Amino acid sequence: MSTVHLHSNDIPGRDEVLRLYEAVGWSAYTRDPERLIRGLRKSLRVVTARIDGRLVGLARVVGDGETIVYLQDILVLPALQRTGIGRQLFEAAFSPYRAVRQHVLITDSEAKQRAFYEAMGFKEISNEGGRAFVRYLR
């Protein structure tokens, strides 16, 4: 595999964003591409992963950046999952917010997502048709 390059606050073009979100099956986002792009632009932080200039992953954080931050999206092309790209994106997305006490994410009930988030130090706080995880930093 070629070298992965991470880019902070790199808002990808519409077509490459749609390709990535569609590749992971997130069609709820791709139904309204303009809304997705606006959401990316309004995020606190967007980190992309690129190989040879091609978008292969993305993470974005929303919140106030002072007391709480949410990992809204983290995506890696299916063929490149479990290669460490997700971990790199995760760490880069949260890196400016080490002093923020609450790190939160909400996701669906998929077992491999749970394992990933728990490996990143998050703890599950509910299980009502979905999953919420939080990581409190001291």
Pick from 42, 23, 24, 25: nearest CA to 34: 42
Domain count for the chain: 1
Mean pLDDT across the stretch 13-38? 94
Q: Which domain holds residue 9?
A: 4-136
Mean pLDDT across the stretch 96-112? 83
**CATH code for position 61:** 3.40.630.30
36-91 pLDDT tens trace: 999 999 999 999 999 999 999 999 999 999 999 999 999 999 999 999 999 999 99
Res. 94: pLDDT tops 70? yes
- Cα 71 to the chain's mean position, in Å? 6
Beta strands in 9-130 (DSSP E): 45-51, 54-63, 68-76, 102-107, 123-126
Per the CB < 8 A criterion, the answer to whether 76 and 47 are in contact is: no
pTM summary value: 0.84
108-135 pLDDT tens trace: 667 777 788 788 887 877 665 567 777 7
